[in-house]
Chain A
Amino acid sequence: MKLKGYLTSRPFMGERVPQRVQNIVIRDYCSNHRFSYLLGAVEYSFDGATAILESLIERIGEVDGLVFYSIFQLPSDDSKRSWVIANALSKGKEFHFALEGISIKCWRDEKSVNQMWLIRKAVDIQSKALLKSLAPYAL
């Protein structure tokens, strides 16, 4: 299976991972699964940009899918994320995520990845103030 890499230079979910580290983790994942790793494309650095990802999917051609460092490099906007995944699945292509060691090959996989996204967003919304307000109940 041939996978093309997708890397980002901006932080995602409050974390920044150097591209060199993203590449190492992706290479390791591909080597463990005996996938061929085709050198990656790097997304534009401005917030919310997904142009490179969208064009990779539009011109995906002979490649079997894309390999990301993390599921949290997918678009953070829920509808854009769904659109990107739907577009790839409709072409029979896969998404792989090296850090988490998971992949999207069908709609069921999409559901479980999307669930992790939504939980992570919901958890990030929780404020420290909420935790402080709960503290008296722990006594």
Chain B
Amino acid sequence: MQDWKEFYSREEALLSTRFLKKGFIVKEVESRDALEEISSYIEKKTADHLGLKDIPELDFLDNIHTKVSSNELNDLRLKLIADIHSCEWFRAAYFNLAKDMLSDIVGNELVMQTRLNLSIQLPGDDSSLLPIHSDVWSGDSPYEVVIWLPLVDCFNTKSMYLLNPEKLSKHSADFLPEKHLDSEALYQLVKDDLIWLDVQYGQVLLFNQNLPHGNRVNIENQTRWSINCRFKSIFSPYEDKKIGEFFEPITLKPLTKFALTNRWW
């Protein structure tokens, strides 16, 4: 079949099928320059906050647990989040890591979360865990996706898990509030049907936040560093997280700009 006879290109159709079947896509970042700027910015700011003159080694972030204790971690994380938000180019760079993939999966007129989240998980640390959850359980719109960027190689418990969408119907009754299960009990029920996401530095993950996901204590011997941010189509329905307070339009197209601002007829 020639591509011109189809509304979706072959690549787009493949990506779409993969997303619906697996609930996630892992791809090489679309802008290596953006990734390198983001990584060096985080490394430099981390070194500054720790009072280090230079970034001491190649796997500085992987080994940060040798320099920061669990008690000092939250303070460092908050300082870095403030750095991210004071950096003018950071959000645009982040978007450019996955611009085409977002266009294929979500759309090309997008809103982006105003405040990016940074996750740092030291080996053996249980102070910053996200128990199993779906973002739509806490006010996110089902029309959102998450772009998740590892700043180090992430695998096994150094990464995150996602419930296999093909197993969702098997477990949907487990998640009903009348079951009164706590998050650990829920995890135990679904753990055999979870997919642990292997995402290397240089790759970016897009996942369906409607699907239950979370993380566990990192039992690998390296620290996990990742950033996450939500995107949705500007005109798809919003839930509790609204434009202005949580989302900001980033790619409004000219016709929409015209239509929003002109009522001359």
Contact = CB atoms under 8 A, between A and B. Distances in A.
Interface of A: 13, 70-72, 97, 99-102, 114-116, 118-120, 122-123, 126, 131
A97 B234 CA distance: 21
Interface string B106-133: 0000000010000000000000000000
Nearest to B246: A100
Interface in B213-265: 234-235, 237-238, 242-245, 248-249, 252, 257, 260-261
Contacts of A120: 242-244
Given A72-B244, A122-B260, A115 B237 contact: no
B237 A123 contact: yes
Contacts of A118: 260-261
A13 B242 CA distance: 10
Interface of B: 114, 234-235, 237-238, 242-245, 248-249, 252, 257, 260-261
Task: Tell me the dominant secondary structure on chain B's binding face.
Answer: loop
Contacts of A116: 243-244, 248-249
A119 B234 contact: yes
Contact of A70 (B235, B245, B249, B257): B245
B244 A100 contact: yes
Contacts of B234: 119, 123
A115 B261 CA distance: 8
A71 B244 contact: yes
A86 to B, nearest CB: 15
Given A115-B252, A116-B249, A123 B261 contact: no
Given A118-B261, A119-B260, A70 B244 contact: yes
Q: Which 9 A-B pairs have the closest CB atoms?
A: A118-B260, A100-B244, A116-B244, A99-B245, A71-B244, A120-B243, A100-B245, A116-B243, A119-B243
A100 B237 CA distance: 19
Nearest to A102: B244
A123 B249 contact: no
Contacts of B260: 115, 118-119, 122
Contact of A99 (B238, B244, B249, B261): B244
